[in-house]
A and B are shown apart, each in its own frame.
Chain A
Amino acid sequence: MTLLVVESLNKNFGGVVAARNVSFSLMAGEILAMIGPNGAGKSTSFNMVGGQLRPDSGRVVLEGQDITGLPPCAICRLGVGRSFQVAQTFLSMSVLENLQMALIAYAQRTRDMLARADALFRDEALELLDQLGMADAAARPMNTLAYGDVKRVELAIALAGKPRLLLMDEPTAGMAPGERAALMRLVAGIARRAAIGVLFTEHDMDAVFAHADRILVLVRGEIIAAGMPEDVRANPEVQRVYLGTSGLRAALRARAAAHG
């Protein structure tokens, strides 16, 4: 089933083209990677899907519903969860409270003035943390966590809304190599089990080639290649503008590691 259809999105920032005719689609349960050099327009495309940016033209369709230009909170309620390039969490709260907040929002009880927030959804919050291996840190203040752990909590927050589409902007940035692989395996497992469509950007080619079903290559705001990992890797233009030879070696290595 087609989950997300993006049709010729365009975005200019004062004459600088950040996205030009970006089109792609994503099936439920599919993992789609978006790669490209810095400044290629990956985050811009992400933010147009997530509602943080309004496209100049083009359409974003989620399960047949046009969501172009809706505010992020409305898009979230339609089943889109996301993580940010620089992790966004509630720094003044504990890890558990971050998750409780996400669950309160999902239950649409944010205007509740009677209940005690700290008593709501504790078990569900702990369960989500457990899924990402963060249950032990539940009571810790968010601002004492290592950055890799912050990223993990952010992912748990995004999953709290039971999304059908998960957007992850550089999910493993700032993590140690071992952590990266583990996190990507975890995400891939969750996505396949719950049939969540995942769109992610990543600079770590190991993560991309090991887990993506398909890959989009973005350069200067345009998609220059799209397809299966092998096709993308074999595409001479992609090799030239982006991967280079060392990237190619990394891709081969990752493929070998993932498929034994």
Chain B
Amino acid sequence: MSVEFSFLLVQALSGLASASSLFIIASGLTLVFGVTRIVNFAHGSFYMLGAYVAVTIVPWLLQIERSPTLFFVGVLISACVVGVLGVLMEVLLLRRIYKVPELFQLLATFGVVLMVQDAVLHVWGPMDIAGPRAPGLRHGVMILDQRFPAYELFLICAGPVVLGLLWLLMHKTRFGILLRAATRDRDMVGALGVNQALLFTGTLFLGAFLAGLGGALQIPRVSASAQMDLSIITEAFVVTVIGGMGSIGGAFLAALLIGQLQAFGVLIFPKITLVLVFLLMALVLVVKPWGLLGRPEAAPASAMPEGIASPRRFRAFEKLMAALALLAAAMLPLFGDAYAVKVATEVLIFALAAFSLNFLVGNGGIVSFGHAAYFGLGAYASGLLVTKLGMPMEPALIAAPLAGGFFAALFGFFIVRLQGIYLAMLTLAFAQIAYAVCFQWVEVTGGDNGIVGVWPSAWASSRIAYHYLVLVVAVLGIFALRHVIYAPFGATLRAARDSAARAEAIGIDVRAHRWLGFTIAGAAAGLAGGLYAFSKGSIDPTLLGIPLSVDFLAMILLGGMQSVMGPVLGAAAFHSIKDVFMPFTDHWRFFLGASIIALVLIFPRGLGGAYAALRARFSGGAP
């Protein structure tokens, strides 16, 4: 009995230790969001940088003297270095994007994530780097009859100490009072003559400092690795969303909840702790859409939405271009080599996926940050049916949109209850659930390695025959979705995007229509995923990952999300560029990140916008 109790106690304590660490990181994220209204993807990168800087300078300091003081001095120096990097990011990037739509902000900060990943690999190399253990805290402490690491006990205290210091800062200093005021009402603080630029820069220093501190404190527990950023950022998102974005107290509460859920969840459902965490988030958001201690966002002011306005029919010239593009795709096998055919097949598949995403984002104003989930689930449905049940390709391909649509309906039921940034976070969370299940359920999905042997039926097994199959299916899919955009249902989604209050007041059940739209887009993405599985011959969890979701977003950004056909153009341009340049560089991610940022800053309307501007100039009309 006492053994069991002591075991549970130790389990609870280790839950507290991870809660503490998580809180330190999440507090910075929520602080930055509260003031700047930007959800900073790069916060995870700051955490990673904190760990890397610490594993570099702490051992160096410990060579001078192995004292606990120097260890913690090293940790604080690392956090300060990261804080300065945060200032750099604010001055160089964030300052330019405070006023742009949320999606662009998210993408731009994700661009920073990509750049930092490659920079870290360049500076520190691909190997994980283990950090030194903290002098004076290397021993274990006996708690009842269980050994518990002293460093974990220290971490348990660190969280509340940071919370206390933040409270003092927020209530006893002028900077903190301004921070709180800005969280409440940013414009008002600006109107009062406060130097906003300085306030925002200071906030980013503090936020990045906390992320760096969180990372640096982890070095005795985990090695610094180039994958730390994305895994921590999803957890930190979950904490801030559950706690209420902008609420530090909420983040503390949420971190405690998640820490305990993970510590005990691992005893009951060892494989699905991640799923438990995300389910908690979904549940909280359904009951309290603004998180535990969050404040409702004021309804967005009526502003011209960023997305498809009234879609026009094709003019003669555009019909000609579409016909030529189709002809080129159809003739390609006659003059292109096998590699060109492969790339063209993939472009068609991604065009369908990107088009389905823009059906949501551009047409419906529903910013999905996890669209790859439905693509990947379609691919897994096809792949598993073929390899595990021995089904032929044809029914497996039909199952792909059904799977994508089914899961989009299931996740969408929760997602469409939210708006804006909360909605984007929930799409991301559900995508991570799906990713985690595919990753962890090794017996069925093959885990990290995935499954090979997903081959088409004999008649479609040649590259060329499969290309034609994809051509027919993808083009039909795109034109069907395009038709829906022009139909009353598409117009209804635009109406709900422009003004949900007005749409409701003329009798439109906004939630039901968004749900249906989400399901349709998920089904189309699932179909694309099924096609992709057979073109590759394999499936693996990266098909559901955040990077692929961001690729899709980059495609519609490049193509222009306010144009109906832009995403097709964007998919073609993005995939071709990636295919041409990736073999030549070890720093593809760095270029991709920089390009996304450049797109957001100087080319936000993409190729479609450039075309519209050109046409307006030549037809003499206003754009």
CB neighbours of B34 from chain A (8 A)? none
Are the C-beta atoms of A117 and B491 separated by less than 8 Å?
yes
Contact B499 A110 (CB under 8 A): no
Interface residues of B in 449-493 (CB under 8 A from A): 483-484, 486-492
| With known contacts A92-B309, A101-B495, A113-B483, A160–B506 Cβ distance under 8 A | yes
Q: Which residues of B contact A117 (CB under 8 A)?
A: 486-488, 490-491
Q: How far is the CA of A87 from the CA of B499 in the complex (A)?
A: 10
B304 interface residue, CB < 8 Å from A? yes
Q: Is B504 touching A77 in the complex (CB atoms < 8 A)?
A: no
Can you list, as one digit per residue, whether each of A150-168 has a CB less than 8 Å from chain B (1) or not (0)?
A: 0000100110110000000
- Name the one of B303, B488, B498 contacting A110, with C-beta atoms under 8 angstroms: B488
Taking a contact as CB atoms under 8 Å apart, the answer to whether A143 and B304 are in contact is yes
Quick one: which of A51, A52, A91, A154 contacts B304, CB cutoff 8 A?
Answer: A91
Within 8 A of B (CB), among A101-123: 101-102, 104-106, 108-118, 120
Answer whether residue B494 sits at the interface, using C-beta atoms and an 8 A cutoff: yes
Say yes or no for A224: interface residue by CB 8 A criterion. Answer: no
Closest to B497 in A: A92
Please pick, from B494, B502, B509, B513, the residue contacting A157 in the complex, using a CB distance under 8 A: B502
Contacts of A74-118 to chain B: CB distance below 8 A: 76-77, 81-82, 84, 86-94, 97, 100-102, 104-106, 108-118
Question: Roughly how many angstroms separate A125 CA and B149 CA in the complex, as a whole number?
Answer: 73
Residues of chain B within 8 A (CB-CB) of A186 are none
- Quick one: given A73-B507, A97-B310, A110-B492, are A92 and B498 in contact (CB under 8 Å)? yes
A116 and B502 in contact (CB under 8 A), knowing A91-B302, A92-B305, A97-B310? no
Say yes or no: is A50 at the interface (Cβ < 8 Å to chain B).
Answer: yes
* A82:B505 contact, CB within 8 angstroms: yes
Residue in A101, A115, A143 whose CB lies within 8 Å of B506: A101
CB of A71 within 8 Å of the partner chain: yes
- Complex: A208 Cα to B576 Cα, angstroms: 65
- Which residue from A90, A120, A154 sits with its C-beta under 8 Å from B498? A90
* Residue B501 CB within 8 A of the other chain: yes
Q: Which residues of B contact A109 (CB under 8 A)?
A: 488
Bound CA–CA A86/B499 (angstroms): 11
Contacts of B508 in A (CB 8 A): 73, 105, 110
Which partner residue on chain A sits nearest B513 by CB separation?
Answer: A110
Smallest Cβ-Cβ distance to A114: which chain B residue: B487
Chain A residue numbers with a CB within 8 Å of B488 are 104, 109-113, 115, 117, 120
A72 interfacial by beta-carbon distance below 8 Å: yes
Q: Which residues of A contact B494 (CB under 8 A)?
A: 90, 92-93
Which one, B308, B491, B497, B509, contacts A97 given CB within 8 A? Answer: B491
**With the chains together, A72 CA to B507 CA distance in Å?**
7
In the complex, what residue of chain A is closest to B516 when comparing beta carbons? A111
Judging by beta carbons under 8 Å apart, are A92 and B490 in contact? no
Asked if A110 contacts B505 (CB within 8 A), the reply is no
A116 lies within 8 A of B487 (CB): yes
**B528 beta carbon closer than 8 Å to chain A:** no
> What residues on A are CB-neighbors of B489 within 8 Å?
110-113
Asked if A72 and B504 make an inter-chain contact with CB atoms under 8 angstroms apart, the answer reads yes
Q: Indicate whether B79 reaches chain A with its CB closer than 8 angstroms.
A: no
B505 touches A88 (CB 8 A): yes
A257 shortest CB reach to chain B, Å = 32
Q: Tell me if A92 and B302 are in contact (CB < 8 A).
A: no
Answer whether A88 and B302 are a contact pair too, CB < 8 Å, given A76-B504, A115-B488. Answer: yes
A182→B516 CA distance, assembly (Å): 42
Tell me the complex Cα distance, A154–B310, Å.
18
CB interface residues, B 291-305, toward A, < 8 Å: 302-305
Docked pose: A174 CA to B310 CA in angstroms: 27
Query: Quick one: which of A76, A91, A114 contacts B305, CB cutoff 8 A?
Result: A91
Q: Is B527 an interface residue (CB 8 A)?
A: no
Q: Which of B258-308 contact A (CB under 8 A)?
A: 302-305, 307-308
Let me know if B510 is at the binding interface, CB within 8 A: yes
| Distance of A92 Cα from B622 Cα, bound (Å) | 16
Residue of A51, A88, A89, A115 with highest tally of chain B CB at under 10 A = A88
Q: Is the CB of A161 within 8 A of B507?
A: yes
Q: How far is the CA of A114 from the CA of B491 in the complex (A)?
A: 12
Bound complex: CA of A104 vs CA of B308, how far in Å? 19
Structural contact, B501 and A84, CB atoms closer than 8 A: yes
A16 to chain B, nearest CB (A): 15
B residues less than 8 Å from A71 (CB atoms): 504, 509
Asked if A106 meets B491 with Cβ closer than 8 Å, knowing A91-B498, A116-B486, the reply is: no
Q: Give A240 to B507 CA distance when docked, in angstroms.
A: 41
A105 to B304, CA, bound (A): 22
7 A-B residue pairs with CB within 8 Å: A73-B505, A86-B302, A93-B310, A104-B492, A110-B513, A115-B487, A117-B488
Enumerate chain A interface residues (CB-CB to B < 8 A): 50-52, 71-73, 76-77, 81-82, 84, 86-94, 97, 100-102, 104-106, 108-118, 120, 141, 143, 154, 157-158, 160-161
Across the A-B interface, give the 9 residue pairs with the lowest CB-CB distance, nearest first. Answer: A88-B502, A76-B507, A72-B504, A117-B491, A92-B309, A90-B498, A110-B492, A112-B488, A105-B506
